[in-house]
Amino acid sequence: MLPYLHIGSINVPTFGLMLWLAAVAGAFVMDRAFRRAQVTTDAVTMVAVTVVVGIVGAKLWHVVDTPSEFQAIGWSVLWDNAGFAWYGGLIFGIAALVFQGWRAKLGGLRTLDLAAPAAAMAYGIGRLGCFLSGDGDYGIDIRPVHILGRTFHPWGVSFPHGLVPVFVAVYPTPLYELAGGLAIGWWLWWRLGKPHAAGAIVGQYLILTGLARFLVEFIRRNPKVLWGLSNAQLASAGAVLAGVALALWAATRPAAAVAEKTATPVAKTA
């Protein structure tokens, strides 16, 4: 793996580099979504603010979720390169988007709908940083899988030079999440271009991303805390339930009326 790029005397962390690339990709996709919806609000600034708030939330969630790490290394855990929890970033990021959408008079739900494809794709790209740096977000050790009398040997990767080294083949879960994030983002982008009520797209985002994270947790190393499930799986189940409730509520709303009322027309130029 490649935790750092060595450029002369400068060491560039690949996790930070991929995080920056994810933010750029997210800003591009969200700007395209705003333009397609004829919304004049500055999407790039909105994404920049959301990324900063999301990073803070991801780090704080990780500290609360793993108190043993805080006890071991103290306050330095707050600026350590590893240790970012997706759900902390999701909750703080949603709050930042809703607030900015409210200030821009665009509406919180409408803003979240427009941001959903960008969020899914950016998350997938960010996971590539976890893979390159080997920060411990990989899966459990590879074991033969027996199905219907056949034995399969899944492909695995070791991370001997990662930030959190592992010397046996493990499931490369960040790559699975990269593929899942891009696929979910593409689906949401397609749905965003169809008639929909406010909240329908972000509802689907919560369902799909929550389900994807719930499933991948079965082959990740996170400890089980309740009913044989990890903290991330419990949070995923909550996200899916919230998404289902939001999608059902949006289904009762008139799509055309919501779009007409919330979309901001592009100003005409001479």
Give pLDDT tens digits for 179-214.
999 999 999 999 999 999 989 999 999 999 999 999
Residue listed under structure tokens 């400890």:
223
Compute the distance between CA of residue 161 and CA of residue 159 in angstroms, rounded to an integer: 6
**pLDDT tens for each residue of 64-103:** 666 565 555 555 555 555 555 666 777 888 899 899 988 8
Residue 206 lies in a domain: yes
In the chain, alpha helices (H)? 14-36, 43-65, 67-73, 86-103, 108-133, 173-192, 200-216, 231-251, 255-262
Cβ neighbors of 228 (< 8 A, separation 6 or more) are: none
Model pLDDT, residue 65? 60
Domain assignment present for residue 256? The answer is yes
- Range in 48-57, 79-88, 133-142, 167-176 with the lowest mean pLDDT: 79-88
Residue 267 lies in a domain: no
Distance CA 234, CA 221 (A): 15
Three-class DSSP category at 154 = coil
pLDDT digits (tens, 9 = 90+) for 133-147: 888 888 889 888 888
The predicted pLDDT at position 67 comes to 59
Measured distance CA(185)–CA(117) in Å, rounded: 4
Please compute the mean of the pLDDT values over residues 33-62 and round it to a whole number.
Answer: 85
146 phi and psi, to 5 degrees?
-105, 115
Q: What total number of domains does the chain contain?
A: 1
What's the pTM? 0.81
Mean pLDDT rounded to a whole number for the chain: 83
In a domain, 15, yes or no: yes
96 domain-assigned: yes
Count of Cβ atoms closer than 10 Å to residue 25 Cβ? 19
C-beta of residue 236 within 8 angstroms of C-beta of residue 214: yes
More confident residue, 180 or 104: 180
Asked if pLDDT for residue 238 goes beyond 80, the answer is yes
**Res 80: pLDDT:** 57
Q: Look at residue 268 and tell me if it is in a domain.
A: no
- Measured between alpha carbons, how far apart are the two ends of the chain, in Å? 54
* Structure confidence at residue 190 (pLDDT): 95
For residues 167 and 38, give the distance between their C-alpha atoms in angstroms, rounded to a whole number: 51
Range of the domain at 154: 4-262
- Give domain status of residue 269, yes or no: no
Determine, yes or no, domain membership for 220: yes
